[in-house]
A and B are shown apart, each in its own frame.
Chain A
């Protein structure tokens, strides 16, 4: 029982990370049809800069972590918005080329991060409480899992509020469904592209800082590893669906934890098989719109 609970909560924590990356990916793809390979780089740069600022202000304290998180989100938002504005926008409606540009950006940026921060992981400090465990029903749960879950829930709530309550949210929801009709109502849908990128970047940025807490290090490849799983989550959840991304994040991460524990560390394989199975049975994913 206690193992089960530990696996589920750890899965939820990992799922929270996946969601922070996948939410942006899914919105960006849903609205613009762009498969953003640079999303992992948004995460990595945010993790590095968040860590650099946080440790200088107050290393290993809550204040330091909070500052890291704020810096991470800002960096993620700015870098993502700049990417959209400078690179993606020039290739309006040419989806393959847009994806290719993000591939180039991903390759170049990871190389740059390696150049600046080296190829080895840099171990980070975190507030003491996060390194401890809390006992729930006999299961010793590492406390950082709770932080991850809480943050992802907040982000999910925030994005949902934004989508439901603001005019831009309305435009984005409508655009995911039928972009050309939105322009035919006299709305410049491109402005919401930048916003979606910024939101996705901010979520990934927070994800970067939290990933450095979860793994205990930052590295140039932090984003690339999470990106592959986030892709899988996005596709399983249904491209363009925020709810789908949330549900699939949890499913994938929990499944991964269980397979790792009970099936001799085959978590990655099981996830891949799950993706193939979902795509073959239900190509549009769990909650995706009909293609």
Chain B
């Protein structure tokens, strides 16, 4: 097995002085999708934000062997990290085109890829992102990450609150992306996890409690109950 693309070692994060990530260690292999799982509020989003330096953090984060935990967010991203935040965070007052243009870091942005994956966005280029539906906003958010050549994608709950048809579309786009770039995925919908992820990392109380292959977790009802607190995997992710 090759060297992991991302190594997280004893990472802790705090927001306004409060510990939200505690001593988390795991790594993301250089290929495929790694899912970061856990119940609501265990610090999945905060872990992603700590990796990016969006919240105060200590500990070690290595991207492709280089330490990035002392770098400001924009430098980490410039090293080839695409970020799709929870709740999409599109710039509502900017048009779709402007949202994408802002995200382009490379000399040769992969506009054709984005246009192939999300044909809807081409038509809506001049529309304000704030007036889009949730699903369309998620497309914009994904497109912002995919428009660049990345070494790693951090994707936070991309299917949250979306209609089943859109969930499939998002999953398809992620599967397509995963062919060329490793992804660390936070996801509540276990169907999506099953379809995409090879490996899973489970957090509980801000700590890693399980690391292993996706099937080891998902085929074991007892583990699912214990770590994720759900009986019926299909109902998960719609509760909010």
Binding site for B on A (CB under 8 A): 170-171, 173-174, 177-178, 180-189
- Nearest residue (CB) in B for A171 is B102
Cβ of B94: which chain A residues have Cβ within 8 Å of it?
A: 170, 173-174, 177
Q: In the bound complex, do residue A188 and residue B91 qualify as a contact, i.e. CB atoms below 8 Å apart?
A: no
Please state if B92 and A185 are interface contacts (CB–CB under 8 Å). Answer: no
Q: How close is A162's CB to chain B, nearest CB, in angstroms? A: 14
In the complex, what's the smallest C-beta–C-beta distance from B94 to chain A, in angstroms? 6
B54 interface residue per 8 A CB criterion: yes
Q: Is B78 part of the contact surface with A, judged by Cβ < 8 Å?
A: yes
Contacting residues, chain A, for B72 (C-beta < 8 A)? 183, 188
Q: A186 and B78 in contact (CB under 8 A), knowing A170-B102, A174-B94?
A: yes
8 Å CB contact of A184 from B52, B98, B101, B148 = B52
Instruction: Determine the residue in chain A with the shortest Cβ distance to B76.
Output: A186
* In the assembled complex, B105 has its CB within 8 A of some CB on chain A: yes
| Known A173-B91, A180-B54; further 15 A-B contacts with Cβ < 8 A | A170-B94, A170-B102, A173-B93, A173-B94, A174-B91, A181-B89, A183-B72, A183-B77, A185-B102, A185-B103, A185-B105, A186-B77, A186-B148, A187-B74, A188-B74
A-B contact count (CB 8 A): 54
Q: Quick check: A186 and B105 within 8 Å, CB to CB?
A: yes
* Minimum C-beta distance from B109 to chain A (A): 12
> Does residue B127 face the partner (Cβ distance < 8 Å to A)?
no
Chain A residues contacting B102 (CB-CB under 8 Å) are 170-171, 174, 182, 185, 187
* C-alpha gap A72/B98 in the complex (Å): 34
Least distance between A221 CB and chain B CB atoms (Å): 37
Residue of B nearest to A181 (CB): B89
B182 cross-chain contacts in A, Cβ below 8 A: none
Interface residues of B in 23-44 (CB under 8 A from A): none
- Residues of chain B contacted by A180 (CB below 8 angstroms): 54, 73
5 A-B contact pairs sorted by A residue (CB < 8 Å): A178-B91, A180-B54, A182-B102, A184-B54, A185-B144
Q: Which residues of B contact A173 (CB under 8 A)?
A: 91, 93-94, 98
How far is the CB of B74 from the nearest CB of chain A, in Å? 5
Q: How far is the CA of A186 from the CA of B76 in the complex (A)?
A: 7
CA gap between A177 and B83 in the complex, in Å: 18
Contact B74 A181 (CB under 8 A): no
Does the CB pair B92–A177 fall under 8 Å?
A: yes
What is the CB-to-nearest-CB distance from B14 to chain A, in angstroms, rounded to a whole number? 14
Using Cβ atoms and an 8 Å threshold, which residues of chain A touch B89?
178, 181
Contacts of A171 in B (CB 8 A): 102
Distance of A223 from chain B, by nearest CB (Å):
31
Contacts of A178 in B (CB 8 A): 89, 91
CA distance A242 to B148 in the complex (A): 32
Kindly report which residue of chain A lies nearest to residue B77, judged by CB atoms.
Answer: A186
Cβ of B206 < 8 Å from any Cβ of A? Answer: no
* B135 close to chain A: CB less than 8 A: no
CA distance A79 to B204 in the complex (A): 51
CB distance from A89 to the nearest CB of B (A): 13
> Which partner residue on chain B sits nearest A189 by CB separation?
B74
Q: In the complex, A182→B148 CA distance in Å?
A: 15
Would you call A186 and B91 a contact (CB within 8 A)? no
Question: What mask results when residues 137 to 181 of chain B are scored 1 for a CB within 8 Å of chain A, else 0?
Answer: 000000010001000000000000000000000000000000000
Q: Does B85 belong to the interface (CB within 8 Å)?
A: yes
